Structure 1
C-alpha cells in the first residue's frame, strides 16, 4: 500500500515550550491511523501543523510525494521554499475536522456546508455534494435551514465532518470527534467514519481521547507523550500492549 502522508522529524514550539519534538510517522493510502495520548501531549498541534496552521521548527511534511510543510529555518545548504498556506494544502486533498467542531453557529447547516466547499467553483457540483451529505447524514437534510447553534453536539459533529467532506478530500484529519458526546452517538459517528474510509476510499488520520474506540476503528496506531511519539504498532497489538492498557484503557 502506498504512503500518502509522511511526517519527517518535525518539531513545533510555542515560545520556549516544545509542543512537538522530532516527530516522525506515516499514513498509508486507504488506512485509518489513530494517534492517542493524554490531554496536552501535542496531538492537536500535530494536526494543525499538517494543514499549515503551525510553523515547523524542524523537519518536513510530505503529502502524496509533494512537500507541503517545511521548517522555518531549513538546514544549511537546503533551499528554503515558500510555505504553502492552509487553503492550498486543503486544495491538495487534506481536510481537518478541528477539536470542538468549530461550527459557524449563526449560519444554517446549508451555509456551513457551503463554507466547506469554498474552493469549489462549480455550483452544480456543490449542490450535488450537499445532497450527498444530506443522504449520508439524514438529520442534516431535515435541518438544513436551521441555525447550527440549535443542533445537538452529535449533530454538530456530523455537520463538521460533512463540511470537511465537501472539499472531496483524499485524507481527512479528525481531532477528537467523540469529545463530549454520549456513547451511542460516538458509536454512530465512528460507524460513519469507517464507512467513509471503506466506501469512499478516504484515508483517515484520527486523534481521539477514547483510546479503545480509536484503536478498534484503526489499522495502525501511534502513542504520543509530551510531544514525542513513544510507541507505534498495529492497532490490534497496541490494544493488547500492557503499558497501553494500563495508561489509556483503564486496566
Structure 2
C-alpha cells in the first residue's frame, strides 16, 4: 500500500510546554488507523498539526508525497494554510463535534460544502448524507442544537464528508456517547472506509473500539509514539491491555 499521510519527526510546543516530541508515523491509503492514549497525551494536537492549525517546531507532514506542513527551520519549503490543506482532500471532524448549533442540519451540510462550487454536486452529496444517516434526512429542517449527542456526531461526520475528502481525520468520535451509539458510529466509520474508499485516521480514548475497527494503530504517551502495530496485535499486547483496556 502507498503512504497517503507521512509524519516525520514533528515536534509541537505551546510556549515552554512541549506537546509532541519527535513524532513519526504514517497512514496507508485505504486503511483505518487509530491513535490511542490517555487524556493530555497530545493526540488532538497531532491532528491540529496535520491540518496546519498549530505550527511545527521541527519535522514535516506529507500528504500524497507532498509536504503540507513544515517547521520554520526547513529550507526550500513552506506550509500550506488550513484551507489549502482542506482543498487538497483532508477533512477534520474536531473533538466535541463543533456543530453550528443555531443552523439547521441542512445548513450545517451546506457549510461543509463551502469549497464546492457545483450546486448540483452539493445537492447530490446532501442526499447521499441523508441516505447514509437517515435520521439527518428526517431532521434536515431542525436546528442542530435539538439533536442528541449521537445525532450531532453523525452531523459532524456528514458535514466533513460533504467535501468528498480522501482522508478523514476524526477526533474522539465516541466522546460522551452511550455504548450503543458508539457502536453505531464506528459501524458508520467502517462503511465510510470500505464503501466510499475514504482513508480514516482516528483519535479515540475507547481503545478497544478503536483498535477493533483499525488496520493499524499507534499508542501515544506524553507526546511520544511508544508503540505501533496492527490493530489486532495491539488488542492482545499486555502493555495495551493493562493500560488502556482495563485488564
TM-score, normalising length: structure 1? 0.97
Counterpart CA distance in 1 for 2:19 and 2:190 is 30
Change beyond 3 A, Cα 1:219–1:80: closer
Counterpart CA distance in 1 for 2:183 and 2:221 is 26
Q: Secondary structure at the match of 2:96?
A: coil
Match of 1:207 in 2: 203
Q: Does 2:142 align with 1:146?
A: yes
Select the residue among 182, 187, 194 that pairs with 1:186.
182
Count of aligned pairs between the two proteins: 247
Counterpart CA distance in 2 for 1:95 and 1:50 is 10
Deviation at 1:195, TM superposition (A): 0.3
Residue correspondence of structure 1 range 170-249 to structure 2 within 5 A: 170-249=166-245
Match of 1:34 in 2: 34
Deviation at 1:80, TM superposition (A): 4.3
Q: Tell me the alpha carbon deviations over residues 7-42 of structure 1, each in whole angstroms, 9 at most, x when there is no partner.
A: 000000000000000000000000000000000000
Counterpart CA distance in 1 for 2:39 and 2:73 is 29
TM-score, normalising length: structure 2? 0.99
Counterpart CA distance in 2 for 1:230 and 1:108 is 42
Counterpart CA distance in 1 for 2:175 and 2:219 is 18
Counterpart CA distance in 1 for 2:127 and 2:34 is 29
Deviation at 1:72, TM superposition (A): 2.0
Q: Does 2:62 align with 1:62?
A: yes
Q: Does 2:130 align with 1:126?
A: no
CA-based RMSD of the aligned residues comes to 0.6
Unaligned runs of 5+ in 2: none
Q: Does 2:103 align with 1:107?
A: yes
Residue correspondence of structure 1 range 43-82 to structure 2 within 5 A: 43-74=43-74, 78-81=75-78
User: Any runs of at least 4 consecutive aligned residues in structure 1 with deviations exceeding 3 A, and if so which?
Assistant: none
Q: Secondary structure at the match of 1:19?
A: strand
Q: Tell me the alpha carbon deviations over residues 147-192 of structure 1, each in whole angstroms, 9 at most, x when there is no partner.
A: 0000000000000000000000001000000000001100001000
Q: Secondary structure at the match of 2:170?
A: strand
Counterpart CA distance in 1 for 2:72 and 2:223 is 19
Contact conserved, 1:73 with 1:80, CA < 8 A, in 2? no
Q: Secondary structure at the match of 1:191?
A: helix
Q: Tell me the alpha carbon deviations over residues 96-141 of structure 1, each in whole angstroms, 9 at most, x when there is no partner.
A: 0000000000000001000100000011100100000000000000
